[in-house]
Structure formats: C-alpha cells, structure tokens
Amino acid sequence: MALHAWLGTGNLPEAERELERLMANANASESLCVGAAEVYLASAGPEAARKVLVALVARCRAGGAAAAVRVVTKVVDCGIGSPGRARAIGELVSDERVVALFDGPANTSHRGAMHTLLWNCGFEHFNAKNYDICADLFETSMLYLSREEGSRVRRAQCLRVLAVCYLALQRLDRAHEFVDEADKIKIHLQKNDEDEAIKQIKTMMGCIDFNPAFLMLTTHEAIACKAVRVAVASLTFLLGLYSAGKPMPEREVTVLRTLIELLRREQGTEDEILKYLRRAKLRMSDLGVEGFFGNGPVGARELNWFAGNCWNMGRRVAKEQKYDLSAEFFELAAEFFGGASNDEGDGNHPTLCKALIMSVTSMLKAEELNNSPLLDSDVKKGVEMLSRAGKLLPSIWPSGSVASDQAEANIFLFLHTFYSYQLLDRMDTSAHPQQLQLVKNFASSKACTPSHLLVLGKAASEGTPPNLLVAEFSLKASIKTALASHSPNYRVISAALRNLACLAGLQDLSGSKSDAVYDVYRQAYQIVVGLREGEYPCEEGQWLAVSAWNKSYLARRLNQASVGIKWMKMGLDLSRHVESMKKYTADMEQCLEYFQKMIHSEAGEHALLGKNPDECSQQEGAPSTSMSGSMSQPVLV
C-alpha cells in the first residue's frame, strides 16, 4: 500500500526505498516482491530495471527465473524502440547472476520464454535495419539456449541471422565466426558471385534445420547487394514451398508481388513475369479474391497493383510488337479488374472494358504479324470477350467534357466495332447482316468519325469474301459525314471516293449496278469543282482524271462509243480542276475531238447499213485505242 501511495504522488525515490524494504523483509513472499517490482517498473521505466532485477536475484531463489522473465517482459512492454532501451535490456539479461537463475532442467520453459522474448526484440530492430543493436540482442538470446540436441535448430537460426547482421555492418571478421553452409550465400553476394550464391541457397534448403524464413532473409540481403538474380531465385524457391495450411514467413501474394517487381527491373523477363501473373490469377481463383489478396483496403490495393501491372506490361510489350504476350497481359488485367466484385468490378468498369478490347486487338495483331490464322477456339474466345466488353461500353464514355478523354473513348468504341466486325468475318456469310447492323450502330454514335468509317469500308471491301453492302454504306457515310463537318478532311474524302469507285467497278463487273462507277466520278467532280486550288489532294485528283479517261479505252474495246465519249469528257473535266493535269488538257481535248469526228463518220456509214454506232468494231485502218501515245490513244498513265 505504501509503495502504491508513493508512486501515486510521483515520489519515485521514496517508492524505491519502500521496494528495498519489502525485498529485505524475509516474511514477504516471492510473488509479492515480483508484483511490487512490476508496479514500480511501470512508473520508473526500464532505466531502473537493472537494479530491481539484481535485487530480485538476491531475494528469489526458487522462482528466480520466472521472476526475471516477468520483469523483462514488463520492461519490453514499456517499449524497446529506442536504441538506448534495447541496449539496456541486453545488458540487463546478460548479467551472469541473471543467467545463472535459468540453470537446471526445471527452468527449461522459462529459458525458452526468455530466448523468445529477446529474439523478438532483436527481430524488431532487424526489420528497422538497426543491425548493431539486433546483433547484440541475438547474441544475448543465445545465452538462454542449451547445448542439447533440441536447441540445435534455434541456435543455427541465431548464427545465420548474426552472420547477416555483421555482413550488413561490413564486419566480415565477426561474420566469419557465424558462417556455416547457409551463410556462405552472403559471402558470395559480397563477392558478386551470384551463381555460387544460388547454389548455396539450394544447399541451405537441404539442411535439417532449414526454415522458410531463411529465404526471406536471403532475399533482403540479395536486394541490399543489388543481386537481383539471387533475390529472384530465393523468392522462386520460397513460392515452391507454399501449400494449404502450411505456415509461411510471408503471405504468398506479397512474395509474388516482390518477385514480379524484381523481374521488371531486368530486360527480357516478360515471359517470367507472365508466368507469375498467371499464378496469381490461378491462386485468386482457388482461394477467392479476399482469401488471396486480403480484406479491406489492403486487399484492394494488392488487387489493383496486379491489375495495373498487367495493364502496363501489356502496353509495354505491345509497343515492342510482342502481341502474343500483350494479348495475355491484357486478358489477365481484365481478370484482375473483374475480380474486384461480382458485378464486373464496379468502379473498374472502364478499365475492364478497355482491357478486354485491347486483348482482342493484340490477338488479331499477332495473327497478322505472325501470319498464322487464329484457332476456332481463339476466335470464339475473342467474340466472348468483345461481347462482354460491349455490355460495359457505356461506362468508358467520360462524364466531363475533356477532349483527350473523349478522344480515347472514341478510339475504344471504334476498336470494339472494328474487331467485332473482323471476328464476325471469320464466320460464314450468314454473319453479313450482323456486320451491317454493327457498322450502322457505330455510324449513328457520337464516337464515329469519317476516318473510322473509311477504315471500316476498306476492311469490308477487302474481306474474303467482301461484304459489299457494308463497304458501300461505310464509304458513302464517310464522305457524307466529312462533307457535313465545318472543316472537311479532303484527304479522307478523296480516299473514300477512290475506294468507292473501285468498289462500284467491282459491282459493275458483276452486273448489279451499271452506272455505279460513273455516279462516283460525278460526285467527285461536283466536290472538286467547288474547291480552291490545292484543297483537294493533288495525287487523288490526278488519279480521278486519269482513271476516268482510261475507262474510255475499255468502252471503245467493247464497241460502246457513247460510253467511251462520256468517260473521256469526265476525265477531261476533272483534269481542268487538277493543277498537275492541266499540261495534258490540250492534248486530251484534241483527242476527244478527233474521236468524236471519227465516231460521227462511222455513224454515217453505219446509218446507211442500218447499224448502231455502238455495235461497230474496229475496222482495219480505223484509229487505234491501244497505242503508245499517238493522237488516237486515249489511255493515260
């Protein structure tokens, strides 16, 4: 009661004298003395612990070891974060009189408790990289280990950790004292001999006293020595030890994250990174999202780290045209983003959608680059991924009016349409109506641009077989939307006109649209007439004029004089509005005039015979249209 009273008033000197009187009282029990010492230390702090513990050693005979453990525990509970307090504990328990209390088989459990207490204190400072302090604590903890067989594993652990500590302190002479087969790893690391260090790790794993925690220590030391290969090897070996219900020094997700982060620092490790990301995805499937990544904000951060790194790796290898790898990285990113919850990832909707689209994009890019057709199973998987992405497309449209965000959303909407079209093209022609509806839906969206429609039109016209309906719709829509804009892009318009003209020619040959080609040229002429000089791309204008003029040659060969004259006039009219063609205009006019006179002359002769001029064939001596550059040759090159 008196001790409590003095402590309550803050009078520590009087409280200390009261404790000394209690210790000197032979009638006071040992448990009462120990309890009073704990109360006193709670107020006086660890600085008074040495004096109190020495007094207890003198007072307690039968229960001295238990009393010492209780006093040291109380000191540790008061905090050992500061180097001064840690050293005080080391000095306290290394006193010979204190160590002597733990002799004898009856104190085995108390000896183990003291060793564990000191080991934990040392490990706390080891993690804080206070290697000099933790080395003292680890050495002191060995005073409480017997030389019996049962303590051999714990003694080996202490020796290994002490070797690491002294190597970190560059005290190689002291480190050598604690080196055994396992600790040769650190020596090899100091010598930059990574191959030997990895061999020693394998040797260490075969020791009878091996503990997986050694691999974590080795990894930390390898990272500190910038020996990435050794750290990767150590973590790889550690991953091989994980199994259900087996206690490990670190969570599996942490080991995988560290391993992937280390591999990212090295060149050419994409395949290895992909392997461990696949493992993370498999473990997520086996254990569940929370079971593998953890609960709450910590688990969410882990999951997002893996998802984000899959996305970043996909982008990185795609830039290097390693599309096979990027397809898998983006697919894994989609799996991780989608694993956030059962409703497709909540706030991760936009990135999940983009990852799915990018995975299919990379898949088809790889097919094109490697010139190896996709398997039917891959086509089916791609269709399923784009179908899943299609449900999430509204989520990628930005809520604000930031131009860059809208442009990115436009790109992904187009990619979804384009590659959906491509995969449908792998099916039979029954998919053609679906393709047309797909393109029409995209054309009606605000993401659609004339350039997008031009690309879709070209893809449709180059398919096997081509989808002429989609091609015609896309190209015409491209021209229409481009002309309707405030600043028409005539390079897009000219390219669409050229492709439409070739497409119409294709349909002409099939006999479906007799005037389709001419209608395209007439539309082109109406566009060119209203433009300033140079506004329409020169090379495209030249192509229109030359190709129109040359079509008269085919008409003449088919004995269609009126059609030939029509095309010659179109070529001539177009050439008058193309700067690079004006030097040919005079010759073209003379050629047209000569051809018309020839036709009129032939028409008169055939009128007497009752024939149509268009039915005439080239007679011997008539002007030739298959020439090398004479007046009668309408072909331009």
- Does the structure show a pLDDT above 60 at 81? yes
Return the domain boundaries, the chain. 1-179, 432-503, 514-599
Other beta carbons less than 10 A from residue 1's beta carbon: 6
The whole-number pLDDT of residue 512 equals 47
Higher pLDDT, 5 or 280: 280
Query: Which letter, b or e, does each residue of 268-292 get, where b requires 16 or more Cβ atoms within 10 Å of its Cβ?
Result: ebbebbbebbeebbebbeeeebeeb
Phi-psi region of 427 (alpha: psi -120 to 50; beta: other; left: phi over 0): beta
- Does the structure show a pLDDT above 90 at 100? no
* pLDDT tens sequence across 586-597: 888 888 888 888
Higher pLDDT, 552 or 279: 279
Q: Which regions of 400-499 does DSSP assign to beta strands (E)?
A: none
What CATH number was assigned to the domain covering residues 1-179? 1.25.40
Q: Is the previous residue joined to 465 through a cis bond, with omega within 30 degrees of 0?
A: yes
Burial class for 462, CB neighbours closer than 10 Å (0-12, 13-18, 19+):
exposed
Per-residue pLDDT band at 632 (split at 50, 70, 90): very low
Tokens representing 296 are 């709450």
Q: Rounded mean pLDDT of the chain?
A: 79
How far is 494 from 517, CA to CA, in rounded Å? 15
Quick check: 530 and 491 in contact, CB under 8 A? no
- Does the structure show a pLDDT above 60 at 24? no
Query: Which letter, b or e, does each residue of 212-239 get, where b requires 16 or more Cβ atoms within 10 Å of its Cβ?
Result: bbbbbbbbbbbbebebbebbbbbbbbbb
245-254, 304-313, 321-330, 577-586: the lowest-pLDDT one: 245-254
Quick check: 444 and 452 in contact, CB under 8 A? no
Q: What is the DSSP letter of 342?
A: T
The whole-number pLDDT of residue 5 equals 56
Counting DSSP H helices and E strands in the chain, the numbers are: 31, 0
The whole-number pLDDT of residue 618 equals 40
The whole-number pLDDT of residue 148 equals 63
Sign of the Cα pseudo-torsion (544, 545, 548, 551, in order): negative
How far is 492 from 536, CA to CA, in rounded Å? 10
User: Percentage of residues in the chain with pLDDT exceeding 70?
Assistant: 74
User: Percentage of residues in the chain with pLDDT exceeding 90?
Assistant: 32
84-98, 148-162, 322-336: the lowest-pLDDT one: 148-162
Higher pLDDT, 497 or 621: 497
The pLDDT of 320-333, averaged and rounded, is 96
229-233, 398-402, 508-512: the lowest-pLDDT one: 508-512
Per-residue pLDDT band at 476 (split at 50, 70, 90): very high
- Does the structure show a pLDDT above 50 at 345? no
Quick check: 237 and 215 in contact, CB under 8 A? yes
Nearest to 313 by CA among 288, 349, 280: 280
The whole-number pLDDT of residue 466 equals 85
The pLDDT of 7-18, averaged and rounded, is 56
Per-residue pLDDT band at 525 (split at 50, 70, 90): very high
Nearest to 545 by CA among 563, 561, 529, 557: 529
Quick check: 624 and 633 in contact, CB under 8 A? yes
The whole-number pLDDT of residue 41 equals 57
DSSP labels for 502-569? HHHHHHHHHTS-TTHHHHHHHHHHHHHHTSPTTTS-HHHHHHHHHHHHHHHHHHHHTT-HHHHHHHHH
Query: Which letter, b or e, does each residue of 145-162 get, where b requires 16 or more Cβ atoms within 10 Å of its Cβ?
Result: bbeeeebeebbbbbbbbb
* pLDDT tens sequence across 184-226: 565 666 667 788 888 888 888 887 667 787 788 788 878 878 8
* pLDDT tens sequence across 146-155: 766 456 667 7
280, 293, 299, 301, 307 from 296: Cα distances, Å: 19, 10, 6, 9, 17
- Does the structure show a pLDDT above 50 at 182? no
The pLDDT of 400-425, averaged and rounded, is 84
The pLDDT of 553-579, averaged and rounded, is 86
* pLDDT tens sequence across 45-68: 555 555 666 666 556 655 667 777
The pLDDT of 486-497, averaged and rounded, is 94
The pLDDT of 9-37, averaged and rounded, is 59
The residue type at 267 = Q
Model-level pTM greater than 0.85? no
The residue type at 444 = S
DSSP labels for 102-128? T-SGGGHHHHHHHHHHHHHHHHHHHHT
